[in-house]
């Protein structure tokens, strides 16, 4: 146990020190934390509960818009703010900006959780591929509809209030928001998966009919799990809104093929249904992406598609699954060599 | 909101507009039905839900477009209109070859795995194909503007371009050919046998691997031909693929597998529904309507299943 405590202490120290040690990589590290957050939340339903969603990006985009609407709407009329032809300039004071941030980020999380709570009972009747396609449809539909709502800026998107901070400090602030959310999420999941609730959602993954027969109210468990993951994705989305300053619906907010599929790739790369798998996968994928993206100019997305196909076809258990296979002892799995037949 | 009410009022005031919308919708719907039939074929035979369906359609469209734009055939004295028609069988052939390669490289490895694997693998394939087409042909919308005449009915309220009529006739002919092929040929029988019970088919001496490869290739070819017809009159763009995939899913989910009349009816119906939606809510919502229809159909099926105390899987 002490070994683990030491490991976590070192990691937290590294997290805190990283933006000061490598100031030019702060934005990179912030995005890394975003990847870790979305991968961990995807794994809650995808890996631990067996419901593979392709549309968790819906909560990211909704969080982004909710955060923006709260931050702006607290002091200004949103419709006038987003009006493309407006001539008057709104000036935002520092205290207004921070109030917007402090209320906007948790507000976005709560709103996304509420959304998941409402749509959960609709979607959780869909199983397997239908669930994946249905959630993908949800994300695409939401993006298309939002891009037609003039009140939210339409296809132009929303410009966030300008930060009163110097850009360098702003980056560090965003980094710590992401990192704080990520650490809280990781700690929460570590506890969450060890509870009876975690055991119940694992039972749903293994065999939903049997789980129901054992007296687990499956719909309630599924909806609550999805809502919790939505809260975190929504908060991450709201932080992204403050980070990006300007965002538009189809390419940034409801980016179905970028982040929406990255989170699945991260989890598959690291290993589904494990605590550390999504984290490791997110780090690997993000570093791989940042290193190679510039060299294959124009072909990045082709490479991404190829990567998805290769991971899914040849390496689906991910790194953790591979390690589990090679070194079962590390995971506390005892292999009975005598009983094993060749 | 006023705009929506105004548009609905227009429909009631001029009943002919309804007819125009239905005709337009049914014409494009015929092509949705083709793509959906291919999806139902692959889904039923090898239980792979192909999310790259729409990208096959778009790829077929670009094949035909490329054939016309390079002007090889025009240089030996064939007019562009005829080349566009030749493009349909060419796209059929090219996409059959591409489909076969994709089957051998990817699909054969995911058939036996769980359904999410094949879904995600084909999603990766869809991203890859869209991006390759984007690199090759650019991200502009393309259409072959053929100089066929347009027929007018009812004082010009209803306009039917002859190119559209030709396209719909070709789609119907292709569908008929595929149906006859499935009914009568040896391979068609093997495909149907495999879709009923692949293990039994193997016992009876059918090379199911070959059947799978052929089915996937046929599916890609049908989609490619549909795309070549689409590019004659309608627009294609590298990233339109996912919408066609979604429409194919809507049709198959609404009609159910192995229900050919249902697939055709649902295809025509979704075409008309989309045109109505586009008219009422404005053209900007067209993609959103296609996807929202998917959600509506899914929930409708879900309610049906729930009455039987079953989940949709």
Structure-block tokens of residue B63: 């094949």
Chain B partners within 8 Å of A147 (Cβ): 284
What is each CA distance from B111 to B119, B147, B246, B253, B266, in whole angstroms? 10, 45, 21, 20, 27
Interface of B with A in 88-117 (CB under 8 A): 106, 109-110, 113-117
CATH code, domain carrying B254:
1.10.3470
B122: in domain: yes
Contact assessment for residue B37 and residue B174, using Cβ atoms and an 8 Å cutoff: no
Contact A305 B287 (CB under 8 A): no
B236: three-class secondary structure by DSSP: strand
**Residue B302 confidence (pLDDT) above 90:** no
Contact B312 A126 (CB under 8 A): yes
Sign of the CA dihedral running A206, A212, A216, A219? positive
A142/A120 Cα distance (integer angstroms): 16
Kindly determine whether residue B120 and residue A141, on different chains, have CB atoms separated by under 8 Å. Answer: no
At residue A34, the pLDDT reads 92
Among A126, A133, A251, pick the best mutation site for testing chain B contact (most B Cβ within 10 A): A133
DSSP3 helix / strand / coil % (chain A, rounded to 5): 75, 0, 25
Task: Determine the longest span between alpha carbons in chain A, in angstroms.
Answer: 80
- Strand, coil or helix: A315: coil
pLDDT of residue A87: 65
Is residue B184 pLDDT above 70, yes or no?
yes
- Chain A residues 309-338 within an 8 A CB cutoff of chain B: 309, 312-314, 316
Joined together, the tokens standing for residue A197 give 């609730």
Nearest residue of chain A to residue B242 (CA atoms): A140
- Helix/strand/coil for B312: strand
Mean per-residue pLDDT of chain A: 86
What local confidence, expressed as pLDDT, does residue A33 receive? Answer: 92
CA distance A142 to B180: 41
pLDDT for A335 equals 67
* Alpha-carbon gap, residue B59 to B240, rounded angstroms: 11
Q: For A181-228, write each residue's pLDDT tens digit.
A: 999 999 999 999 999 999 999 999 888 888 888 888 888 999 999 999
Q: What is the pLDDT confidence band of residue A85, given thresholds at 50, 70 and 90?
A: low
Distance from CA of A21 to the nearest CA of B (A): 37
Domain boundaries defined on chain A: 27-261
Distance from CA of B155 to the nearest CA of A (A): 34
B65 alpha-carbon distance from chain centroid: 17
Give a yes or no: residue B258 inside a domain. Answer: yes
B117/A312 Cβ within 8 A:
yes
| A256-284 b/e (C-beta count within 10 Å ≥ 16 → b) | bbebbbbbbbbbbbbbbbbbebbbbbbbb
Q: Does A297 touch chain B (CB under 8 A)?
A: no
Domain total of chain B: 1
Find which of A300-309, B84-93, B255-264, B284-293 is predicted with most confidence, using mean pLDDT: B84-93
Q: Are B34 and B244 in contact (CB under 8 A)?
A: no
For residue A265, the chain B residue with the least C-alpha distance is B120
For the residues A259-269, what does the mean pLDDT come to?
Answer: 87
Nearest CA in chain A to B109: A313
At A166, list the tokens: 């110097």
More confident residue, A98 or B4: A98
- Give the pLDDT band (50/70/90) at residue A133: confident
Q: Do B127 and A257 touch (CB under 8 A)?
A: yes
Nearest 10 degrees: Cα torsion B248, B250, B254, B257: 30
Q: Supply the pLDDT for residue B313.
A: 60
Domain assignment of residue B313, yes or no: no
Q: What is the pLDDT of residue A181?
A: 93
Average pLDDT over residues B113-128: 86
Quick check: B285 and A145 CB within 8 A? yes
What is the overall mean pLDDT for chain B?
Answer: 86
The confidence band for B144, taking pLDDT boundaries of 50, 70 and 90, is confident
**pLDDT tens digits along B280-292:** 887 778 788 888 8
Which value does ipTM take for this structure? Answer: 0.82
Residue B307 contacts A where some CB pair is shorter than 8 Å: no
Each residue's pLDDT tens digit, A110-132? 999 999 999 988 888 888 788 88
Alpha-carbon Rg for chain A in angstroms:
21
Q: Is B280 on the interface with A (CB under 8 A)?
A: no
pLDDT tens, position by position, A136-151: 889 988 988 888 888 8
Instruction: Write the DSSP string, A174-200.
Output: HHHHHHHHHHHHHHHHHHHTTSHHHHH
B155 has pLDDT over 80: no
> B82: distance to nearest CA of chain A, Å?
34
In a domain, B47, yes or no: yes
**Are B286 and B242 within 8 A, CB to CB?**
no
pLDDT at A7 exceeding the cut of 60: yes
Partner-chain contact A261 B305, CB within 8 Å: no
Residue of A nearest to B138 (CA): A298
> CA of B36, closest CA in chain A: separation in Å?
15
Residue recorded with tokens 């998107």: A157
Alpha helices in B103-204 (DSSP H): 108-110, 115-137, 162-184, 186-196, 198-203
> Is the Cβ pair A305, B106 closer than 8 Å?
no
Q: Give the gap in angstroms from C-alpha B124 to the nearest C-alpha of chain A.
A: 4
CA B169 to chain centre: 15
Q: How many CB pairs under 8 A join A and B?
A: 129
Q: What is the pLDDT of residues A309-336, one digit of tens each?
A: 888 888 877 788 888 888 877 777 776 6
Q: What are the pLDDT digits (tens) for B29-68?
A: 888 988 998 998 888 888 888 889 999 999 999 999 998 8
Quick check: B129 and A305 CB within 8 A? yes
For testing contact with chain B, the best of A53, A304, A313 (most B CBs within 10 A) = A313
pTM: 0.86
How far does A51 lie from chain B, in Å, by closest CA?
10
Q: Which residues contact A241 (CB under 8 A, 6 or more apart)?
A: A63, A64, A65, A67, A68, A71, A104, A108, A158, A160, A247
Pick from B48, B51, B114, B131 the residue to mutate for testing the A interface (most A CBs within 10 Å). B131
The DSSP-derived string for A45-72 is HHTSS----S-THHHHHHHHHHHHHHHH
Domain that holds residue B21: 2-307
- pLDDT tens digit sequence for A35-65: 999 999 999 988 888 888 888 999 999 999 9
Residue A25: how many other CB atoms lie within 10 Å: 14
- Residue A330 confidence (pLDDT): 76
d(Cα A206, Cα A212) in Å, to the nearest integer? 11
Distance CA A285, CA A159 (A): 29
Average pLDDT over residues B72-87: 83
pLDDT class of B163 with cuts at 50, 70, 90: confident
How many percent of chain B have pLDDT more than 90?
23
pLDDT > 70 fraction of chain A, expressed in percent and rounded: 96
Confidence tier at A92 by pLDDT (50, 70, 90): confident
Using a 10 angstrom Cβ sphere, with 0-12 exposed, 13-18 middle and 19 or more buried, the burial of residue B168 is: buried
The pLDDT of residue A342: 44
Contact A127 B312 (CB under 8 A): yes
User: Is residue A254's pLDDT more than 70?
Assistant: yes
Q: What is the dihedral of CA A225, A38, A260, A315, to 10 degrees?
A: -100
């Amino acid at each position: 146990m002490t070994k683990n405590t030491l490991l976590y202490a070192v990691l937290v120290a590294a997290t805190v020190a990283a933006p000061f040690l490598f100031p030019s990589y702060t934005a990179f590290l912030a995005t890394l934390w975003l990847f870790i957050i979305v991968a961990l939340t995807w794994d809650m339903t995808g890996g631990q509960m067996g419901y593979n969603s392709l549309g968790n990006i819906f909560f990211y985009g909704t969080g982004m818009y909710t955060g923006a609407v709260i931050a702006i709407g607290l002091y200004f009329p949103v419709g006038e703010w987003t009006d493309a032809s407006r001539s008057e300039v709104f000036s935002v004071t520092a205290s207004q900006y921070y109030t917007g941030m402090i209320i906007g980020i948790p507000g976005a999380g709560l709103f996304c959780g509420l959304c998941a709570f409402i749509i959960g009972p609709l979607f959780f009747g869909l199983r397997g591929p239908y669930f994946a396609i249905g959630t993908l449809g949800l994300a695409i539909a939401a993006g298309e509809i939002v891009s037609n709502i003039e009140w939210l800026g339409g296809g132009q998107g929303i410009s966030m209030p300008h930060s009163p901070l110097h850009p360098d400090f702003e980056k560090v602030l965003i980094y710590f928001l992401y990192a704080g959310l990520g650490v809280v999420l990781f700690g929460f999941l570590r506890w969450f998966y060890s509870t009876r609730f975690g055991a119940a959602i694992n039972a749903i993954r293994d065999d939903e009919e049997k789980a129901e027969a054992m007296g687990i109210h499956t719909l309630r468990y599924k909806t609550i799990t999805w809502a919790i993951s939505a809260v975190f994705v929504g908060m991450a989305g709201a932080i992204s809104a403050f980070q990006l300053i300007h965002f538009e619906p189809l390419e940034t907010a409801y980016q179905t093929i970028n982040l929406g599929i990255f989170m699945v790739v991260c989890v598959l790369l690291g290993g589904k249904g494990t605590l550390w798998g999504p984290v490791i996968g997110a780090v690997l994928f993000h570093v791989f992406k940042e290193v190679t993206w510039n060299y294959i100019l124009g072909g990045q997305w082709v490479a991404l598609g190829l990567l998805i196909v290769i991971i899914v076809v040849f390496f689906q258990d991910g790194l953790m699954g591979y390690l589990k296979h090679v070194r079962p002892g590390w995971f506390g799995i005892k292999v009975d060599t005598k009983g094993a037949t060749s | 909101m006023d705009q929506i009410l105004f548009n609905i009022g227009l429909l009631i005031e001029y009943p002919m507009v309804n007819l125009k919308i239905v005709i337009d919708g049914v014409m494009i719907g015929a092509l949705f039905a083709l793509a959906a039939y291919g999806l139902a074929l692959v889904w039923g035979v090898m239980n792979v839900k192909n999310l790259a369906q729409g990208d096959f359609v778009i790829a077929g469209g670009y094949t035909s477009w490329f054939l016309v734009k390079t002007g090889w055939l025009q240089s030996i004295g064939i007019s562009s209109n005829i080349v566009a028609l030749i493009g349909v069988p060419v796209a059929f052939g090219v996409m059959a070859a591409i489909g076969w390669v994709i089957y051998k490289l990817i699909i054969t490895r995911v058939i036996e795995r769980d359904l999410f694997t094949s879904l995600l693998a084909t999603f990766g394939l869809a991203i890859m194909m869209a991006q390759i087409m984007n690199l090759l042909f650019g991200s502009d919308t393309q259409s072959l503007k053929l100089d066929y005449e347009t027929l007018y009915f009812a004082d010009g309220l209803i306009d039917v371009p002859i190119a559209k009529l030709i396209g719909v006739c070709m789609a119907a002919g292709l569908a008929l050919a595929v149906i006859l092929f499935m009914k009568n040929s040896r391979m068609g029988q093997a495909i149907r046998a495999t879709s009923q019970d692949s293990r039994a088919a193997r016992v009876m001496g059918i090379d199911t691997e070959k059947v799978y490869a052929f089915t996937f290739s046929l599916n890609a070819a049908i989609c490619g031909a549909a795309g070549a017809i689409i590019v004659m009159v309608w627009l294609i763009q590298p990233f339109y693929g996912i919408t066609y995939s979604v429409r194919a899913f809507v049709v198959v989910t609404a009609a159910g597998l192995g229900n050919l009349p249902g697939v055709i009816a649902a295809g025509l119906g979704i075409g008309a529904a989309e045109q109505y939606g586009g008219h009422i809510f404005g053209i900007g919502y067209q993609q959103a309507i296609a996807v929202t229809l998917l959600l509506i159909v899914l929930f409708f099926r879900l309610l049906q299943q729930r009455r039987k105390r079953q989940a949709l899987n």
